[in-house]
Amino acid sequence: MSINKEQIRTALTHVFHPDKETDLISLEMIQDIIVQEKYISFTLELPEKNDKLAHSLKSKCEEAIRKFVDREAVVDITTGVNISLKRKLEGEEPAEDSSQQTAEPEQLLPGVKNMIAVASGKGGVGKSTVAANLAVGLARTGARVGLLDTDIYGPSIPTLFDIHERPNITTQKKLVPIEKYGVKLVSMGFLVDTDQAMIWRGPMVTSAVKQFMQEVEWGELDYMVLDLPPGTGDIQLTLVQTVPLTGAVIVSTPQHVALDDVRKGVAMFRKVNVPVLGVIENMSWFTPDDMPEKKYYIFGKHGARELARKLEVPFLGEIPLRESIMRSSDQGDPIVHSDPGSPAAESFLEISNRVEQALIVRNREQEETEKVEIKFRP
Ligand SMILES: Nc1ncnc2c1ncn2[C@@H]1O[C@H](COP(=O)(O)OP(=O)(O)OP(=O)(O)O)[C@@H](O)[C@H]1O
Ligand SMILES: [Mg+2]
Give the model confidence (pLDDT) of 36-46 as tens digits.
778 888 889 88
144 and 14 in a single domain? The answer is: no
| Average of per-residue pLDDT across 279-284 | 95
User: Which ligand 1 atom is the nearest neighbour of the CA of 229?
Assistant: 27
**More confidently predicted of 164 and 249:** 249
Check if 344 has its Cβ closer than 6 Å to any atom of ligand 1. Answer: no
**More confidently predicted of 206 and 214:** 214
Q: 272 pLDDT exceeds 90?
A: no
Region of poorest pLDDT, from 223-232, 240-249, 351-360? 240-249
In a domain, 14, yes or no: yes
70 and 209 in a single domain? The answer is: no
Residues 6+ apart with CB under 8 A from 347: 317, 318, 319, 320
Check if 322 has its Cβ closer than 6 Å to any atom of ligand 1. Answer: yes
Ligand lying nearest the CA atom of residue 282: 1
Check if 288 has its Cβ closer than 6 Å to any atom of ligand 1. Answer: no
93 and 132 in a single domain? The answer is: no
| Average of per-residue pLDDT across 289-295 | 91
**More confidently predicted of 100 and 223:** 223
49 and 106 in a single domain? The answer is: no
In a domain, 376, yes or no: no
Per residue in 305-355, pLDDT tens?
988 998 889 999 999 999 999 999 999 999 999 999 999 999 999 999 999
Check if 331 has its Cβ closer than 6 Å to any atom of ligand 1. Answer: no
| Average of per-residue pLDDT across 284-305 | 91
Distance CA 275, CA 27 (A): 20
108 and 66 in a single domain? The answer is: no
CA of 368 to the centre of ligand 2 (A): 34
Phi, psi angle pair for 336, to nearest 5°: -60, -25
**More confidently predicted of 128 and 101:** 128
When pLDDT is cut at 50, 70 and 90, the band that residue 173 belongs to is confident
278 and 154 in a single domain? The answer is: yes
pLDDT for residue 202: 57
CA of 156 to the centre of ligand 1 (A): 10
User: Which ligand 1 atom is the nearest neighbour of the CA of 124?
Assistant: 23
By CB neighbour count within 10 A (0-12 exposed, 13-18 middle, 19+ buried), where does 159 fall?
Answer: middle
pLDDT for residue 139: 96
Contact between 270 and 31 (Cβ < 8 Å): yes
77 and 108 in a single domain? The answer is: no
Which one of 44, 71, 97 terminates a domain? Answer: 97
Which one of 97, 130, 153 terminates a domain? Answer: 97
Check if 144 has its Cβ closer than 6 Å to any atom of ligand 1. Answer: no
305 and 272 in a single domain? The answer is: yes
Q: Whose CA is nearest to atom 25 of ligand 1?
A: 123
Distance CA 249, CA 16 (A): 34
CB neighbourhood size of 294 (10 A) = 10
In a domain, 127, yes or no: yes
pLDDT for residue 120: 92
Residues 6+ apart with CB under 8 A from 55: none
Q: 209 pLDDT exceeds 90?
A: no
Decide: pTM greater than 0.85: no
170 and 281 in a single domain? The answer is: yes
Percent over 70 (pLDDT), the chain:
87
In a domain, 375, yes or no: no
Residues paired with residue 221 on neighbouring β-strands, in sequence order? 112
Contact between 115 and 275 (Cβ < 8 Å): no
Boundaries of domain holding 78: 5-97
- For the chain, what is the mean pLDDT? 84
Which one of 70, 97, 124 terminates a domain? Answer: 97
Check if 125 has its Cβ closer than 6 Å to any atom of ligand 1. Answer: yes
Ligand lying nearest the CA atom of residue 342: 1
